Amino acid sequence: MEIKAEQREKVTVVIPIGEVDTFTASQVADFLGSQLSAGKTRLVADLSQVDYMSSAGLRALLATLKEARHQGGDFRLAAVHDEVEQVLELSGFTGIFQVFPTVEAAVASFGL
């Protein structure tokens, strides 16, 4: 699992590459947590390079969302593969997260 981050305006775009499963979810959670600890509370996850997400991955996303909102920010998802989007829908996460078709749309949604 590789994870990158890039700044776009005042939004941090996190780009995980690979599967987010039982073995890699903690790495994703730690990386997202480090962004929040650094004061980067406006986050977008670019999921265009994630083709599988387990329940452990969903928990990592949810924990990040809760902490970002607790700190006055938000965490949004973008460019989600169909397979991962089905998991998000079945688990009810599309009602919790704002999901955007592109990273650009997610970044713009912050209105900065």
Total count of domains within the chain: 1
CATH number (domain holding residue 28): 3.30.750.24
pLDDT tens-place values along the chain, 112 residues long: 999 999 998 999 999 999 999 999 999 999 999 999 999 999 999 999 999 999 999 999 999 999 999 999 999 999 999 999 999 999 999 999 999 999 999 999 999 7
- Nearest CA to 41 out of 15, 63, 73 is that of 73
In this prediction the pTM is 0.95
In which domain, by residue range, is 20 found? 2-108
Task: Say what the pLDDT of residue 42 is.
Answer: 98
